[in-house]
Amino acid sequence: MDDPFDNLKHSMKKDFEGFSFSEERKNAVKETIRSKQSHPELHSWKEETLISILDSLQDASKHGYDISTQLFRKNERSFESNEGQLYTLLHLLENKKILTSTWSDDRKYYSLTTKGKKYVVACKHRGPQQSALLKNLIEEASL
């Protein structure tokens, strides 16, 4: 059986033959990718913000808008100018197995995992170790 992409492959090989980037350009692209992967703006989340989010999910699953509303009621304004960052943080916490999610009625509901519940307990006993734990979580979530 003939490869249906044979003509395309041949054309691309012919069109891009001898095509290369300078070392300077390659390094610039690599640096741009590296800087975007480090997400320096994500490290700006405060411990209190993280505690508020985890605490809001302690009793029941909530969707992003409910979490946002609850944060505003607590006068937590970290996401006021960019609510999309809340969803970024929720997604990252989900990737770190702190939260889990399910879809219902076209909404994504977040809830704490066992690991997430341990973080909530740790938050209640705030001390130097728990502060370091939360800072590590923020940094991990940002990776």
The confidence score (pLDDT) of residue 40 equals: 45
Write b or e for each residue in 86-110: b if 16 or more Cβ atoms lie within 10 A of its Cβ, otherwise e. bebbbbbbbebebbbbeeeeeeebb
Taking the domains of the chain in order of start, what are their residue ranges?
Answer: 41-142
Write b or e for each residue in 18-34: b if 16 or more Cβ atoms lie within 10 A of its Cβ, otherwise e. eeeeeeeeeeeeeeeee
Q: Answer whether residue 108 shows pLDDT above 90.
A: yes
Q: Answer whether residue 5 shows pLDDT above 70.
A: yes
CATH of 41-142, one of 3.40.50.300, 1.10.10.10, 1.10.560.10, 3.10.20.340: 1.10.10.10
Nearest to 63 by CA among 28, 105, 30: 105
Rounded to two decimals, the pTM is 0.62
Backbone angles phi, psi at 108, to 5 degrees: -95, 120
Q: Answer whether residue 93 shows pLDDT above 70.
A: yes
Mean pLDDT of 79-91: 84
Mean pLDDT of the chain: 78
pLDDT confidence tier of residue 41, bands split at 50, 70 and 90: very low
Q: How far is CA 127 from CA 74, 112, 117, 134, in A?
A: 22, 22, 17, 11
